């Protein structure tokens, strides 16, 4: 259920961004801490790889990512995982699949529209799927760190 909720939430917000932001200037909220700024990203985070040749971007960002997500899906369903690890994996998988859907539907582009910061210190422009991926990674890392700090039974 969480997987489909992630994909649905991200795809809905992206459809709203296309409808309401694609033809407008960036919208500043809360003293410019939060901006809604529509972009079509051909790369990955911070547009890394966006200037690669189109065919190479397709093989890396669509085919290779698709294979990795498929293998990750198999890993998730093929065995039992601790609850927090499972939640983290599903968040990463949901965000990754939703961004992959964007690449398939938007000719290799991902819809990004969120930006936060103070003054010139700002994040790159991102989307809800990116938040799911980042939160999933943080959950897995914090759970791993917590487990590694437990005293071992002797």
Catalytic residue among 102, 130, 143, 153: 130
Q: Are strands 27-29 and 34-41 parallel, antiparallel or unpaired?
A: antiparallel
Please check the confidence at residue 154 and state whether its pLDDT lies above 60. Answer: no
pTM of the model: 0.91
Q: Residue ranges of the domains in the chain?
A: 2-148
- 8 Å CB contact between 69 and 100: yes
93: nearest Cα among 136, 60, 125: 136
Q: What is the DSSP letter of 63?
A: I
Q: What is the mean pLDDT of the chain?
A: 94
Q: What is the DSSP letter of 27?
A: E
What is the enclosing helix (H) or strand (E) of 51? none
Give 30-89 pLDDT, tens digit per residue: 999 999 999 999 998 878 899 999 999 999 999 999 999 999 999 999 999 999 999 999
Indicate if 153 belongs to the active site. Answer: no
Indicate if 51 belongs to the active site. Answer: no
């Amino acid at each position: 259920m969480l997987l489909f909720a992630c994909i649905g939430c991200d795809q809905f917000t992206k459809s709203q961004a296309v409808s309401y932001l694609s033809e407008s200037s960036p919208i500043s909220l809360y003293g410019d801490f939060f901006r809604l700024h529509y972009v079509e990203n051909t790369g990955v985070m911070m547009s890394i790889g966006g200037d690669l040749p189109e065919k190479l971007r397709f093989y890396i960002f669509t085919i290779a990512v698709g294979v990795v997500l498929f293998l990750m899906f198999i890993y998730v369903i093929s065995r039992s995982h601790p609850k927090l690890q499972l939640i983290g994996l599903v968040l990463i998988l949901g965000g990754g699949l939703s961004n992959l859907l964007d690449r398939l539907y938007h000719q290799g582009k991902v819809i990004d529209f969120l930006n936060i910061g103070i003054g010139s210190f700002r994040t790159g422009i991102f989307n809800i799927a990116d938040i799911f991926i980042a939160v999933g990674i943080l959950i897995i890392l914090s759970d791993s760190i917590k487990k590694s700090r437990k005293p071992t039974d002797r």
